[in-house]
Amino acid sequence: MNPNNMMSFTDVGSGFPLLMGHSYLFDRSMWTPQTEKLAKKYRLILPDLWGHGNSPALPASATSLKALAEAHLKLMDSLGIDKFAVVGLSVGGMWAAELAALAPERVNALMLFDTFIGKETAQKEAQYVEMLNAVNFTGAIKPPLLNYIVSQFYSDQAAADDVSLLTAKLAALPTPLLRESIVPIGKMIFGRPDRLPLLKSIRCPVCIATGEYDLPRPPEEGRKMAEMLGCEFHLISQAGHISNRENPDAVTRLIETFLNRTLG
């Protein structure tokens, strides 16, 4: 039991704190390819989002991406961390942008991978809602939907082990977890309002990057946000949505280069 409903997390390394947010349907282990190297210079805080990894179920009170940002800020408060940088991928990037706008005096640098905070098109939102309703009804993620979801996360270039691991993990998710956390979070993500105006409230240096084969969050979305912010945009070659696992060396180098330049 977790009486405070705090998210589970790993705290590793030393140096300037770096909060890292994983993708929907993944957990903190998503960042394994980057963890060892980054922990040599930074103190890494790697949480599992509610309903993911070892964290408890999504609280009924958490109904927005801003609520997810507030929960991560509360986590940093509990650790006595005032200033920090944030690296987020997919939904991790969505709440990371919310957090940077919520606490501009505390977030010193922001990196957004394979994410977009604008509203989904009506067609895409309807498609996502249909899939989530199907999962809620059956209480499981079954083929052919299972195979489709995996194909959205990983490109044809992805390592077979990563693909098989995700497939097995999603197929094994228990019904209560799906209905209490995964489906509600999915509807929170894909039914989000247009949050692009939020970018005006972000004051720290920002870097945005997207995998060249990313299907759910295509590169033009990342470029659009970078143009609005007037910040740099990078295309991660040979990578789909989970770019940090498909091209780990490129993503690690980008994180190191940007943070070295902005944080010193």
pLDDT at 53: 97
pLDDT in tens, 50-69: 999 999 999 999 999 999 99
% of the chain beyond a pLDDT of 90 = 97
- Rounded CA-CA distance 254/152 in Å is 23
% of the chain beyond a pLDDT of 70 = 98
Closest CA to 13 of 41, 34, 32, 33: 41
Residue 5: pLDDT band with limits 50, 70, 90: confident
The arithmetic mean of pLDDT across residues 243-263, rounded, is 98
The domain spans of the chain are: 9-120+192-263
pLDDT in tens, 75-97: 999 999 999 999 999 999 999 99
- Rounded CA-CA distance 131/122 in Å is 14
> Per-residue pLDDT for 3 more than 50?
no
Residue 4: pLDDT band with limits 50, 70, 90: low
Residue 1: pLDDT band with limits 50, 70, 90: very low
The arithmetic mean of pLDDT across residues 35-49, rounded, is 98
pLDDT in tens, 108-132: 999 999 999 999 999 999 999 999 9
Q: How much is the pTM?
A: 0.96
Q: What is the average pLDDT score of the chain?
A: 96
Residues with Cβ within 8 Å of 7's Cβ and at least 6 positions away in sequence, in order, are 47, 48, 49, 50, 55, 56, 71, 72, 75
pLDDT in tens, 146-183: 999 999 999 999 999 999 999 999 999 999 999 999 99
Residue 218: pLDDT band with limits 50, 70, 90: very high
CATH for the stretch 9-120+192-263: 3.40.50.1820
The arithmetic mean of pLDDT across residues 23-37, rounded, is 98
Sign of the Cα torsion 54, 156, 160, 112 reads negative
